Amino acid sequence: MKTLEEVLNDWEAVIGLEIHTELTTLKTKMFCGCKLEFGAEPNTHVCPVCLGLPGALPVPNKAAIQSIVLAGLATNCDIEKHSMFYRKNYMYPDMAKNFQTTQGPVAFCMRGHLDLAVDGKAAGERHGLDSLEPGDAVENIERTDDGYVAHVGITRIHMEEDAGKMIHIGGDEGRIAGATHSLVDYNRAGTPLIELVTEPDLRTPEEARLFMQKLRQIFLALNISDCSMEEGSMRCDGNISLRRRGATKLGVKTELKNLNSFKSLHDGLQYEICRQAQVLEEGGQIYQETRHWDPSQKRTIVMRVKETADDYRLFPEPDLAPYDLTDEFIENVREKLPELPDQKAARYQRDFGLSAYDANHLVEHRFTVGFFESGITEITGITPEQVRAAEKGEAALPKLSKETRKRLEKLAKPLANLTLNDVSAYVNANPDVDLAQSPLTPKRAIELVELLADDVISSKQAKEVFQAVLDEDKDPNAIVEERGMKQVSDTGALEAVVDEVLAAHPDKVEQYRGGKTGLLGFFVGQCMKATRGQGNPKLLNQLIAKKLG
């Protein structure tokens, strides 16, 4: 099978996503008063409504409607004032009533979009990117210095209820194939669920992964879901087809069902792109079918032939009246919008002088946002809540002194680096850690980056101090003093060391001046050795380069 890069030279992948998110921050189900609780004893949160017993009537959850409107506003959707629910009929044990209550052609949220910043290695999957200059726009992307921005359309976000959970007993993989029997837990049946459907605007597995990550950031910021992919409260289906480069007609698509991690989403789409290319290049035919990604075998497997809308026999829900959302209702929801990740990243660039790359990656995770902002508060005394109130015009921000402003300019970038590199690595290695309860307090974080910014310690030493803070629960200044780590930055003292090193290696000096400039690192290393690791490497680089100039 060809690699993804080889396939995308000849074929264009057309990808659309269907992202399902349970509204787990609500207290009750969509159409009844049953409690929402993950991990409860099976079938303990059920009632005649969510079990579909005769005579039971649904009552819609107003808070769920507010949540989906909030999601629509945050993703640039038009909010439809007039919509209704339908019955989607299917015979499967995970819904006792044999139908799912969902929305029809007109959903609460229609015609939205998100702009996706794709940079670094992720941008490498996009075919033909190297031929574009920053500012060039082709199809739905615009080239940037670090990669590109992709404009991804959102067809709709509709409301529906989740199904129950099937547990297959027996067999090797816990799947229905090979199982001896199956159990059904209806606790999840009736959980408010919003489904976002994208336009087929995605072209690479990385774009799909980044889109879902960005949507997760937004929903977490809105506090409408815990977005736990491990627990199934956020999951994704990917639709994928291929067409020859330059063609406009869409190919036959397959659907990858229930991708429950960012890695599975990327790897499943990558495999399916390569599989379809192989089938087509060998003269075969792609069938419209639903497939399952098996991460252990690293391949997709046919589940069933894809149903059509006719198979579901959709018709208006007779037990629920159509919805008429008022302007007042929509505006009241709009007032609840928090600062969204894109807005936060733009503020980081504007107020703290961060690059677009650093700002965009800081807002990817709640822990990086929280750590960075706690450090900024330590410097300025201004909390994120005060910033938000000022942006809403509810209060004025306290004025910073000239000294505080200079300190902020000096420390914001090192704080961002510490957060994106050392703190992220620490949290990834210790996923259960609570940073707020760790020895690395905001005060200590600022103390550490200030030591680095003032050239008191080197970047290598900063990593040692970072680990020591966590291990010994001590202040960075105390650690530096105890270990005698302060850098020598006295130009006169370092010049004498440089002169001694150059005099001791005349052959290397001659080679350097003959064009072997890579020897600069050798000379710096010798000087660091002579100063017992306490020489300022940045200053040593400058002095050596000047003397050998």
Q: Which of 331, 362, 380 is the last residue of a domain?
A: 331
Same domain, 529 and 397: no
Is the sign of the CA dihedral 179, 17, 84, 64 positive or negative?
positive
Tell which residue, 331, 320, 322, 339, has the closest CA to residue 69: 331
Give 286-291's long-range contacts (Cβ < 8 A, gap of 24+): 286/241, 286/242, 286/251, 286/252, 286/253, 286/254, 287/252, 287/254, 288/252, 288/253, 288/254, 289/254, 289/255, 290/254, 290/255, 290/257, 291/254, 291/255, 291/256, 291/257
In a domain, 292, yes or no: yes
For the chain, the 3-state helix, strand and coil shares in percent, each to the nearest 5, are: 40, 20, 35
Distance linking the first and last C-alpha atoms of the chain: 53
Same domain, 254 and 212: yes
- Quick: pLDDT tens for 373-420: 999 999 999 998 888 888 877 888 889 999 999 999 999 999 999 999
What pLDDT score does 281 carry?
Answer: 96
Domain membership of residue 384 as a residue range: 341-482
Measured distance CA(462)–CA(409) in Å, rounded = 20
In a domain, 402, yes or no: yes
In a domain, 136, yes or no: yes
Same domain, 246 and 323: yes
In which residue are the tokens 């609570």 written? 434
What pLDDT score does 278 carry?
Answer: 97
In a domain, 336, yes or no: no
What pLDDT score does 132 carry?
Answer: 96
Same domain, 34 and 165: yes
In a domain, 183, yes or no: yes
Same domain, 273 and 161: yes
What pLDDT score does 7 carry?
Answer: 96
Query: Which H, E and C letters describe 342-401, residue by residue?
Result: HHHHHHHHHHHCCCHHHHHHHCCCHHHHHHHHHHHHHHHCCCHHHHHHHHCCCCCCCCCC
Same domain, 356 and 307: no
Same domain, 383 and 500: no
Phi, psi of 195 (to 5 degrees): -120, 120
What pLDDT score does 342 carry?
Answer: 94
Helix (H) or strand (E) holding 403: helix 402-418
What pLDDT score does 484 carry?
Answer: 81
Q: In which residue ranges of the chain is pLDDT below 70?
A: 171-175, 177, 306-310, 488
Same domain, 296 and 371: no
Same domain, 309 and 353: no
What pLDDT score does 517 carry?
Answer: 85
Measured distance CA(133)–CA(112) in Å, rounded = 28
Same domain, 85 and 218: yes
Query: Contact, 289 vs 304, CB < 8 A?
Result: yes
In a domain, 445, yes or no: yes
The pTM is what? 0.85
Measured distance CA(286)–CA(280) in Å, rounded = 7
CATH code of 510's domain: 1.10.10.410
Number of domains in the chain: 3
In a domain, 251, yes or no: yes
Q: Which of 283, 302, 331 is the last residue of a domain?
A: 331
In a domain, 300, yes or no: yes
Q: Which of 482, 503, 523 is the last residue of a domain?
A: 482
Same domain, 232 and 120: yes
Task: Indicate the burial class of 410 (C-beta count within 10 angstroms; 0-12, 13-18, 19 or more).
Answer: middle
Q: How far is CA 512 from the centre of its chain?
A: 46
Same domain, 198 and 56: yes
Residue 321 neighbours by CB under 8 Å, 6+ apart: 84
- Measured between alpha carbons, how far is residue 163 from residues 90, 187, 190 in Å? 11, 9, 7
